[in-house]
Amino acid sequence: MTGVEQKIVAESEQDIRLDRWFRSHYPSLTHSQLQKLLRSGQVRVDGARVKASQRLATGQVVRIPPLQQVKSRMSARELSDEDKNYVRGLVIYKDEELIAINKPAGLAVQGGTKTTRHLDGLLDGLKFDLLERPRLVHRLDKDTSGILIIARTRPAANWLGRELKSKAVKKIYWAIVSGVPRQAQATISIPLVKKGQRGKVRVCPAAAGEPGSQSALTHYEVMEKAAPDMAWLAMMPVTGRTHQLRVHCAAMEHPIIGDGKYGGSGAHPGGLISTLLHLHARSIEIRNPNGRTIRITADLPEHMKKTWRLLEFDENVPDPQFPEGWALEN
């Protein structure tokens, strides 16, 4: 590119987030680079400043500044065979519309400051028989392992994004927490709010009516317990707030083992238990774009398998059904 470019949002891109639109059109542009362009006003939509989360409408005009001097970190180069084999080895489900991977703990989904190796930079390795680059439709924390859904085409990304936004998707997470919750089955209803400056943002339980707060709802069931020290929880987030499960568990005073950000000293029991985060996206039930409901399950990462063996928990038990009517209020 030698100058400013104006691109019109296509009909097939209706309601897509701006950052995802950029990943589709400019895959070599990292998330942090896009954020800098947005903060400086170099990227605009219909002449107005916008955020990365802005959803686009058909016919809107996106202003793109000259990008020839914006250096890509990873995705601009051709992936090595080693990288391709690595990311393809994470695949646990694939059809014509979507791919599911079992993301390992420690692999970031997107790049940022000091993060040069990330899933977004490896997506070219998941093209398989298509020319189109796959697209991320949701995220997991860097230290959280488990199922991550990736759309294989732009229409599939639009469909899956709407499904996730409508809460039609059922996701089950497994965690080991410190102590044993008083209620074996409950719903945590504690609103959350982000506090702090860029780079040091922390999610906290919110006071009633606190500006910027968002409702957050999590069902949980105690699957097994090693009383009084630890318990295995299955959790289903009804809402999808940042760090929701980690903050909700900490708010119950039963932080997730290995959660140094929110758990404090209670998150590190010592002994033979790994200090890595014990939070795993275990299963997902989702409709693919042809309307067929699929259910995918991801094996535990090795550090959690070790804990299951140590505590003599059976990882082959079925997930709970989470009936309505449980209540644990803020």
Distance (Å, whole) CA 96 – CA 115: 31
C-alpha distances (whole Å) from 245 to each of 60, 194, 234, 280 are 36, 14, 11, 11
Instruction: Single out the catalytic residue among 19, 120, 141, 143.
Output: 141
Contacts of 319 (CB under 8 A, 6+ apart): 172, 234, 282, 283
Known catalytic residue at 124: no
Alpha helices in 121-257 (DSSP H): 154-165, 244-251
Strands 145-151, 185-189: pairing is: unpaired
Q: Are 317 and 223 in contact (CB under 8 A)?
A: yes
Coil, strand or helix at 300: coil
Residues in the chain: 330
Strands 98-103, 91-94: pairing is: antiparallel
- Residue 167, Cβ neighbours under 10 Å: how many? 12
Tokens for 180, please give them.
């044993």
Distance (Å, whole) CA 35 – CA 82: 30
Strands 61-64, 44-45: pairing is: antiparallel
HEC-encoded secondary structure of 44-113: EECCEECCCCCECCCCCEEEECCCCCCCCCCCCCCCCHHHHHHHHCCEEEECCCEEEEEECCCCECCCEC
Contacts of 1 (CB under 8 A, 6+ apart): 64, 66, 67, 68
Tokens for 191, please give them.
């609103």
Query: Which sequence positions are flagged as catalytic?
Result: 141
